[in-house]
Amino acid sequence: MQRTKPPFRADQVGSFLRTEPLKEARAKFEKGDITAAQLKAVEDEEIKKLIKKQEDAGMKLATDGEFRRSFWHFDFLAGLTGVELFEHTEGIQFHGKATKARNIRTVSKLDFPDDHPFLEHFRFLKANTNVVPKMTIPSPTVLHFRGGRRWVSKDVYPDLDQFYHDAAKTYAKAVQSFYDAGCRYLQFDDTVWAYLCSPAELAQSRERGDEPEGLQQKYRDMINLALKDKPADMVVTMHACRGNFRSTFISSGGYEPVAEVLLGQVNFDGYFLEYDTDRAGGFEPLRFLPKGDKQVVLGLITSKSGTLEKKDDVKRRIDEATKFAPLEQFCLSPQCGFASTEEGNILTEDQQWAKMREIVELSEEVWGK
């Protein structure tokens, strides 16, 4: 059966390739050739077009494609009270590529401001779609893992447990603020759970002076506290991937090390799990999904290349997954967004939309119209 509430049988992680008018406007803005108001006008127009394309593709939800962001995470996190975006000596290193040399650090007590710009971004999305508006934000775990202890001020947070608590309360306030703005479908984007499955990432964490053992439980408690007072009619999902920048990745490793905690003990309504390559391992960890209404959105359609998947191959993999959890607890989506940063992955817009239409078609063939 199709689902009438999120996540939907045919769903989308969040970001889409930036359109040419949008890229041109952002370049002009960076040079000082247009004003912020002129850039916003272009963003507004391109987001309206994007929403219509999602609706025309048959999607039951729409995002703003993250069209107003440079990064999937830094733009939101830098808008939190207590967090600072800074020019770093190096970008985040992917396989063969690196992002712009920017990062974030916690410099004062954390809070969610009433005027966070993403609230207005959501209101615009909601006002311009006829389907369910979906908002995506980085998970609170992202505030910690990549920089670790070194980028959380010891003067402000000598005890990291207080940092975790304040991050959770900040996100609880964010959840309520989005709800008050009309949001009923919110997603925490969370690469960290996949990084906790990677021996290389765990080793780097130790090199930074952190101790990754025990982080699963700390992150579980932080997220559950953030969601404790979530309104009953609001759906909050999470998305885990192993890095997504210019069609490259960061980490490898199946979900087995985290599945029992993540699927069984973290109070999300659904999980968008990357499954487009063997770097994600097999479906065996799905045995930890509790029976009930929790959904796993299988990321079987890659956003990293324009090659369109064969429907029979995707159906066969869905069938493989049903050996470990029931079909009615599965949905389908790309494994990640098409543009986690404004640079975007290496495929065309036509290829992107062919993939979205195929996801809708597959959902109807597998779960019915």
With bands split at pLDDT 50, 70 and 90, how would you rate the model's confidence at 95? Answer: very low
Domain 20-367 classified CATH 2.30.110.10? no
pLDDT score of 100: 54
pLDDT confidence tier of residue 194, bands split at 50, 70 and 90: confident
Reported as a pLDDT band with limits 50, 70 and 90, residue 93 is very low
Among 152, 279, 258, CA closest to 271: 258
pLDDT (0 to 100) of residue 165? 98
Q: What is the DSSP string of 193-215?
A: HHHTT-HHHHHHHHHTT---TTH
Place of tokens 């609706």: 55
What's the CA gap between 309 and 312, in Å, rounded? 9
* pTM of the predicted protein model: 0.94
The answer to whether residue 251 scores a pLDDT higher than 80 is: no
Neighbour-count burial for 185-206, b at 16+ CB within 10 Å, e otherwise: bbbbbbbbbbbbbbeebbebbe
pLDDT value at 246 more than 90? no
pLDDT over 50 at 19, yes or no: yes
Averaged pLDDT score across all residues of the chain? 92
Looking at the chain, the whole-number percentage of residues with pLDDT higher than 90 is 76
Domain locations in the chain as residue ranges: 20-367
Cβ–Cβ < 8 Å for 234, 269: no
